[in-house]
Structure 1
């Protein structure tokens, strides 16, 4: 058996996979995301560590002696600044953090030839921007640090005592040369960042260390089990759900990603969308990254005092377009297609006739419109009206799935694998010790097809609202 650990934004999931591809057990444990200042997003790695232990012990209970290897996946873009012992020097800065707006200027000023090799638009929350902020505002800690690690790479350091990274997470730092498949040391030099902060790279499916005694006890496993390098959560999810080259997937969680798996590195000439390394050699994926999906919907639901069943029920009682109400979901700025860290959330068009259900439905529509913006930004990488795989914990309700199909204008094929990132991590663990997991093909559920309801005019109103407010966001 193989243990996959997925270190997400708000919770850790542990999944035990048999060599036949069957999920034997799963467990999860939540932890907080903190906002010590407006626009900040941080987590205490000690909370991660405790949650990983809780989830792993529950997942492996009764099977610990059968676990042959451990694999990891985790949230992208964050920075965990640690000392020589691997102890965090401060809370981790997460992908949703918006503090490094001034630092974006340095990233945008890089020469075109270097930006082309990075193959990505710069964004706050990426490691490069966060590290520049730390260098300016917390210089003593920056100079004291031994490593600047991605979240799952920090976890692996604590499991094995060895510091590494791997291509799928490194390619999301804005400090990785996608075309040469190595750290972009010339970019680090241009930005004035310390190259010694970045650990050696190993392949996602390679052994990157072995469980130490204390870590093994914490996970409820024997000492010395191999630990695979693992992959970024999206890359692991694409592997775990069996996405094939050329196929596209929509994953909805706190954020959302529209991804298409590629056999060659095709850089978006407009640099509005992302290009990252996939979990397997010789594969990449293009991605439209939507920062505010479940994150915005959860905020609206809680603000309105609804549970999720009430939220969907009240939203269904309102006609499409919400009688003139439009919601921009950009609570933490937005990436694709705007690359605008200063954008903010807005309800526009409010009247006395609007009730709680209007506000909730407008929020759902606003997130769906934001996803359509992202799909259109991917351009020819995704054929028009082609089916999308649908994954993620924020995409399970039939009413929401139907709205997404109608807004995006394409069939949605719900993915039968709910914990795809954890499964992908476990598959990488198996590959690291030379084992192939024989996953039986899962029958895909019936597609959710567009119903014929048109959201076109409402979508155009949504796009126009953002354009009208861009100057106001900067006041």
Structure 2
């Protein structure tokens, strides 16, 4: 019997495939490809829209996985899938994509209604009876998160308000769409991804039916809920031929990339705080029962429990904003287009030459606000003529990011999540940045342990497939056996 498990991670920037081996507790191989399936027009990009061809994205993910299977000669026992949470793809009755995929980055729900001052999101919040605190984002009761434009339900609300929601369609998100294509069945969703619709009741572990009705949305738009780490179906013959694996291979239900990253990184759930920095960033604790979430999110975990998490305030895109500023300045002043990756490395190197504390320079890194402070702006403070340098600005920004992530942990403790004795990091934003690693250790007052496997979300998805296949009794057991953090 094979001990190999294949997983696909459908990310915003890249699509990733991974094969793990349970016998050796090792990653057999990984492959990645740039996600080139965006179809947003230049005009729409300028107003914050983000549209993608999800069939092309799926084909890209399959081609990437096919190359990995061929290179490793893997014979997986089952397949797992994870990927970007939130977003929306409409499907017709024959499961064909209707229109483009609106990604989690799409902000059309923040556009003002025609001839009015308030936005579609404001109207949705009012219509659904949201709980609103001055200066914070609205939130529906028991949904575990604030109401944000990238959720699937706001996309549906916008489409309906603009008479662009065809009859007879249903909705899905990217990971579930890929699973649907692999098994040839209608998409289903587990609790970890259902949260990203914005209308899932985390306490009842069910769709918030009354809220959905109040918003004027039809229940048929929403996929059926299923348990995590169960089988969605069997790999179709056509997909098996593309991948170079046997037809009928079990395919697990998709789970959210944040939860999968936790599963693929953290071996000891009870004693660990996990920090992940990719395009976004999260600091999370695993808890067994719901708690008041404050300004954090209460995200259903795989199979049981929750992640109490600070989400989205800072991440890789925060550092990218500063890098882009310097790239634009270099181009404007010297008519030279610097290499983006080389510029990242140079900025980190310059920051490493600046003492911890950035000689008094402080950064508020909220270029895009935060879930609790959506109107917040970024700022650099306490600058002098001697400290107005690329190294000081970079060091201060990275230390400010660490403060934001550690503040999430401190709030989780205040809410009753419990202090933890171990700090585990994941994501290239941490792995490739020694200055950020040092800043995190200083702010969390703990040594930082990095997971040894890499591509943690894909590892977690592979472990979900292994649990669904019966190799482990639970995802917690799988993490304890395979994860290194």
Q: Taking structure 1 as the reference length, what is the TM-score of the superposition?
A: 0.83
2:173 matched residue in structure 1: 150
Q: Residue deviations 1:113-150, cap 9 Å, x none? A: 9933323222221222222222224x22x224622112
* 1:25 and 2:29 correspond: yes
1:185 matched residue in structure 2: 209
**Structure-2 separation of matches of 1:96 and 1:185:** 26
**Structure-1 separation of matches of 2:21 and 2:9:** 17
Equivalent residue in structure 2 for 1:9, among 7, 12, 16: 12
Is the partner of 1:227 in helix, strand or coil?
A: strand
Query: What is the Cα deviation at residue 9 of structure 1?
Result: 1.8
1:472 matched residue in structure 2: none
Q: Residue deviations 1:450-469, cap 9 Å, x none? A: xxxxxxxxxxxxxxxxxxxx
Q: Residue deviations 1:263-293, cap 9 Å, x none? A: 112232x3x211121112x322211102431
1:391 matched residue in structure 2: 426
Conserved? CA contact 1:416–1:442, under 8 Å: no
Equivalent residue in structure 1 for 2:445, among 386, 401, 409: 409
**Structure-1 separation of matches of 2:366 and 2:96:** 34
Q: Residues 204-283 of structure 1 correspond to what in structure 2 (within 5 A)?
A: 204-241=228-265, 242-245=267-270, 247-268=272-293, 270=294, 272-280=295-303, 282-283=304-305
**Structure-1 separation of matches of 2:226 and 2:484:** 34
1:364 matched residue in structure 2: 398
2:339 matched residue in structure 1: none
Q: Residues 249-328 of structure 1 correspond to what in structure 2 (within 5 A)?
A: 249-268=274-293, 270=294, 272-280=295-303, 282-305=304-327, 306-322=342-358, 325-328=361-364
Conserved? CA contact 1:5–1:425, under 8 Å: yes
**Structure-1 separation of matches of 2:313 and 2:33:** 23
Query: Quick one: structure 1 residues 53 and 267, their matched pair in 2 at CA, closer, same or farther if it must change by over 3 Å?
Result: same
Q: Residue deviations 1:219-255, cap 9 Å, x none? A: 3323221111031011112222234235321111111
Query: Quick one: structure 1 residues 216 and 10, their matched pair in 2 at CA, closer, same or farther if it must change by over 3 Å?
Result: same
Q: How many residues align?
A: 437
2:192 matched residue in structure 1: 168
2:370 matched residue in structure 1: 334
Unmatched 5+ residue regions in structure 1?
A: 446-475
Conserved? CA contact 1:96–1:291, under 8 Å: no
Conserved? CA contact 2:87–2:151, under 8 Å: yes
Query: Quick one: structure 1 residues 350 and 147, their matched pair in 2 at CA, closer, same or farther if it must change by over 3 Å?
Result: farther
1:53 matched residue in structure 2: 62
Q: Taking structure 2 as the reference length, what is the TM-score of the superposition?
A: 0.81
The alignment's C-alpha RMSD in Å is: 2.8
